[in-house]
Amino acid sequence: MREARYDILFEPVQIGPVKTRNRFYQVPHCTGMGHRYPEADLAHKAVKAEGGWGVVSTQEVEIHPSSDLTPSNQGRLWDDSDIARCRAFTDRIHAHGALAAIELVHGGANAANRLSRMPPLAPSHALVTSDEPVQARAMDKDDIHAFRRWHRDAALRAKKAGFDIVYVYAGHDLTLLHHFLLARHNHRTDEYGGSFENRMRLFREVVADTRDAIGDSCALAVRLAVDELMGEAGFRHGAEGVDIVSALAEEPDLWDVNLSSWENDSQTARFAQEGYQEDFIRFVKTLTTKPVVGVGRYTSPDTMARIVRQGLVDLVGAARASIADPFLPNKIRDGRIDDIRECIGCNICASGDNTVTPMRCTQNPTVGEEARKGWHPEVLPSLDRPAQILIVGGGPAGLEAGRALVQRGASVILAEAGDEWGGRVARESRLPGLATWIRVRDWRMVQLKASAQAELYLGSRLTADDILSYGIAEVAIATGARWRTDGVGRWHRAPLPFLGAGVTVGVDRILDDGPGCLPAGPVVIFDDDRYYMASVVAELLAAGGFDVTYITPAPIVAAWTVNTLEQGRIQTRLMTMGVKILALSALKARDAETLTCACVYTGRETTIACASFVPVTSRIPVDGLWSELSARRAEWPDFGIARIERIGDCLAPGIIAAAAYSGHQFSRSLDQPAAGFDALR
CB atoms within 10 A of CB 131: 8
| Active-site option among 164, 265, 353, 528 | 265
Between strands 605-609 and 594-599, the pairing is antiparallel
| DSSP codes, 52-103 | T-SEEEEEEEE-SGGG--TTS--EE-SSGGGHHHHHHHHHHHHTTT-EEEEE
| DSSP codes, 502-542 | S-B--HHHHHHH-GGGSPSS-EEEEE-S-SSHHHHHHHHHH
Nearest to 346 by CA among 12, 14, 667, 660: 660
Give catalytic status of residue 30 as yes or no.
yes
Q: How far is CA 193 from CA 119, 138, 188, 477, in A?
A: 21, 12, 4, 64
| Active-site option among 29, 30, 153, 349 | 30
- CB contact set of 100 (below 8 Å; sequence gap of 6+): 55, 56, 57, 58, 89, 90, 93, 94, 162, 163, 164, 165
Q: How far apart (Å, rounded) are the C-alpha atoms in residues 366 and 378?
A: 9
Nearest to 164 by CA among 84, 254, 79, 39: 254
Strand ranges across the sheet with 388-392: 454-457, 411-415, 388-392, 474-477, 643-646
Count the alpha carbons within 13 Å of 385 in the hemisphere toward its beta carbon: 7
Determine contact, residues 218/18, Cβ cutoff 8 Å.
yes
DSSP bridge partners of 293:
256, 315
673 class by beta-carbon count within 10 Å (0-12 exposed, 13-18 middle, 19+ buried):
exposed
Nearest to 223 by CA among 181, 185, 263, 192: 181
| 208: helix, strand or coil | helix
| Active-site option among 37, 169, 192, 550 | 169
| Active-site option among 172, 179, 237, 492 | 172
Q: How far apart (Å, rounded) are the C-alpha atoms in residues 6 and 326?
A: 18
Secondary element (H or E) of residue 440: helix 439-449
| 201: helix, strand or coil | helix
Nearest to 29 by CA among 434, 324, 433, 438: 324
Q: 469-488: buried (b, 16+ CB within 10 Å) or exposed (e) per residue?
A: ebebbbbbbbbbbbbbbbbb
Q: How far apart (Å, rounded) are the C-alpha atoms in residues 206 and 457?
A: 62
Active-site residue set: 30, 169, 172, 265
